[in-house]
Amino acid sequence: IYIAIGFVLLIIGYKVDYRWFKRFSYPILFATIGILLLVLVAGTEVNGSRRWLRFGFFNIQPAEIAKICIAFVLAYSMAKKHDKIKSFSIGVLPHLLLIGVIVGLLMLQPDFGSSVLITTLMGAMLFFAGTRLVYIIGGIVMAVVDHYYGKREKRLLSDAEAARLADQPVGGPNGPEAP
């Protein structure tokens, strides 16, 4: 049934004129931010992460919707600013702020994988839009430094997310530890 639903959505996406997406990119963005907020209060919690919204017989993961939405919004915004994309304050900073809001909401779930993917998507889109390479390299350097010090100084991931990434049960390889 999911393949059929996906195929119907594929056909609809193919038939819809791309200019429609341009016209509704910001309302879709605000709706996406809304469902990312909704999942924090009404989402289903699994292994310490609240990522799914349950609607009767099916579930949706708002982070997946956010990935598609961000691609549309960034493409529209960068195309609109194509002549000023090399300017940090016009071509880069607004996109960083937008991604900061989305990634902040994703990390509250927490969803580290989607956060990294969306940030990487923004970097790639900025690169292909023609922004200055120094901005992208600077962002990569800051991310590496933050990752290095973040591992030493603060907990970025929840215990459940860290355990999943380490491929072991929560609490360590022998299961949950007693308090």
Q: What predicted TM-score, i.e. pTM, was given to this entire model?
A: 0.73
| Separation between Cα atoms, residue 82 and residue 59, nearest integer Å | 38
pLDDT at position 178, please?
A: 43
In the DSSP assignment, the letter for residue 90 is I
Q: Scan for tokens 């591992």, then name that residue.
A: 151
Q: How large is the average pLDDT for residues 144-172?
A: 61
pLDDT at position 130, please?
A: 87
Q: What is the mean pLDDT of the chain?
A: 81
Phi, psi dihedral angles at 11 (to 5 degrees): -65, -45
**Tokens read off for 80:** 């609109």
Omega prior to 110 cis, within 30 of 0:
yes
Residues 6+ apart with CB under 8 A from 1: none
The residue ranking higher by pLDDT, 174 or 162, is: 162
Model pLDDT for residues 84-127, shown as the tens digit of each residue: 888 888 888 899 899 989 998 988 888 888 888 999 999 999 99
| Separation between Cα atoms, residue 21 and residue 94, nearest integer Å | 20
Which of helix, strand or coil describes residue 63? helix
